[in-house]
Structure 1
Amino acid sequence: MGGPKAAAREYRQHLLQLRPSLIRLAASTRVVFKLVDHLWRTMLRKETQNALHNGWNYALFNEVAEDVLAGTGVVLWNSTLPMSYLYALECIRSPHRETLPSRHWNCPDTGHVGYILVSQYTNMVLNDYCNRFLGFGEEYCL
């Protein structure tokens, strides 16, 4: 038996093997597990480029991660999901949108988000670190 449910079972098994180590690590430091972003190729039906669906079922993988990592002390990073969803929608509307050489928008690459999101994710990580450890206050962070 294959398909998304079989893949999710295998993913669950891998996370369950990691779980004890993540619990030990989370007891002494902040551990952040980033959930899987929306990718625009996973939002398209094969027969039409306009209808949305969860064909690769990344949402299922995120549900598995949320379930397995609940109560471990691991922080689940899900704030990137709305941004990746909107990025994917924009790429569906303009599939050839690309900003070279920076690749801020890189819609022809349907399997990755563009650097416009990677840059935003970096700012989020730096803000988290800055606000917690450097004590500068929000007005000095990114």
Structure 2
Amino acid sequence: LKFRNDKERKEYYRLVYNVKKTFPISQEINRTIIETYEYLETLPNEKIRQKHIKRVEKGLKEQYTARMKKLSFAQGKLLIKLVDRQSNQTSYELVKAFMGPFKAGLYQTFAGLFGASLKKQYDPEGDDRMIERIVLQVQNGQL
């Protein structure tokens, strides 16, 4: 890559650092989503499904709260995009599917207070072109 100035170079390497930190988390989240969805399909009724979702939510909070608190604001926004990239669904859609529209709206409002959006879609050929490039390089072991 050719950088026009030192600021642009620093921004790129900061993005590389942030992707390397958040990409593994997004992969873990995607695996958890798939496992949870597949298990929910085997449960016989809605009451048991809701009970399981509550257990999963509690477990996820215990497992990820400490890690999420260590993320910077930029890393949090990047994680939202990478979750969309991994699962092909926005974070809002995932929360809505598993926890209902009320909690999804609540989390979206909370994210909006900080200038983020759970409805933000990943655009690998537009705004998120550089992120996609870095993710592919990380996957191929080039970074």
TM over 0.5: no
Tell me: higher relative CO, structure 1 or 2? Use CA pairs within 8 A at least 6 residues apart. 2
Return the index of the structure with the highest Cα Rg: 1
- Structure with bigger strand share is 1
After TM superposition, the score normalised by the length of structure 2 is: 0.30
Question: How does the TM-score come out when normalised to structure 1?
Answer: 0.31
Higher helix share: 2
